[in-house]
Amino acid sequence: MSIRERLLENPNIFAFFNLLIGVKSRTKVIINEYVSPKSGDVIVDIACGRGEFSKELASTRYIGVDNNPSYIRYAEKHYSDFGSFHCCDVSDLSTSLNGKLIDTALLIGVLHHLTNSQARDMINDIGRHLSDDGKIVSVDPVFTPDQGLVSRLLAASDRGKYVRSIDEHHSLFDESVEICQSEIREDWLRIPYTHYVCVSRKRAKSGI
């Protein structure tokens, strides 16, 4: 692990970095424009980091999971009034769900940390646990042909080793769910950065 990666594993350093680049305002936009939560919805924040989304989703049944024990300890200490937190890998969601159906799965900044097969397995697993009108909201950095040099360099130097092109990103969603809305957003941070937002829903079963 590089020094930068080791520093960002610390929840307070990660938070300071996020504050500098303006991540907090992005959280509100994601919730208002793409999640639109209803009271009592089951919202699973997969790779929740320090659990900051929980505070903005206080009226829902929020579950946060992340495999970094320091982040989960921080979330439990500061946000346990707003939801429950579990330290586990994305490959082991069933235990945290405990039989609940998901109304919204949040994948904020995680797909680019996963290999294609880890990401596909996780998305298919979520698909099996989605309620009939449930959805997945994902946000990740992407490479696009016309993005600026700084955005491209920042995406290329991300801690996540699997930043993808839009086509590669779409190919992760081609089994149990389908993308019904997708947008490039370049206006969310104080630095030039290309986010790709996808909203996906369960694929309708074929009648055959």
Ligand X SMILES: C[S@@+](CC[C@H](N)C(=O)[O-])C[C@H]1O[C@@H](n2cnc3c(N)ncnc32)[C@H](O)[C@@H]1O
Residue 49 identity: G
CA separation for the pair 169, 32 (Å, rounded): 23
Cβ distance to ligand X smaller for residue 47 or 177: 47
Which residues, listed in sequence order, are joined to residue 87 by a DSSP beta bridge? Answer: 66
Rounded to the nearest whole angstrom, what is the least distance from the CB of residue 110 to ligand X in the complex? 5
Rounded to the nearest whole angstrom, what is the least distance from the CB of residue 139 to ligand X in the complex? 8
Cβ distance to ligand X smaller for residue 45 or 103: 45
Cβ distance to ligand X smaller for residue 44 or 90: 90
Cβ distance to ligand X smaller for residue 91 or 203: 91
Cβ distance to ligand X smaller for residue 145 or 185: 185
Rounded to the nearest whole angstrom, what is the least distance from the CB of residue 5 to ligand X in the complex? 11
Q: How far is CA 164 from the centre of its chain?
A: 15
Q: Find, among 186, 170, 164, the residue nearest to 115 by Cα.
A: 164
Rounded to the nearest whole angstrom, what is the least distance from the CB of residue 205 to ligand X in the complex? 29
Q: Rounded to the nearest 5°, which phi and psi values hold at 135?
A: -145, 160
Rounded to the nearest whole angstrom, what is the least distance from the CB of residue 185 to ligand X in the complex? 14
CA separation for the pair 185, 139 (Å, rounded): 10
Helix pair angle (23-30, 11-21), 10° resolution: 80
Which residues, listed in sequence order, are joined to residue 142 by a DSSP beta bridge? Answer: 164
CA separation for the pair 112, 171 (Å, rounded): 13
Contact between residue 46 and residue 27 where contact means Cβ atoms under 8 Å apart: no
Rounded to the nearest whole angstrom, what is the least distance from the CB of residue 14 to ligand X in the complex? 8
Contact between residue 126 and residue 102 where contact means Cβ atoms under 8 Å apart: yes
Position closest to ligand X via CB? 49
Cβ distance to ligand X smaller for residue 71 or 173: 71
Contacts to ligand X by CB under 6 A: 47-49, 66-68, 71, 89-90, 108-110, 113
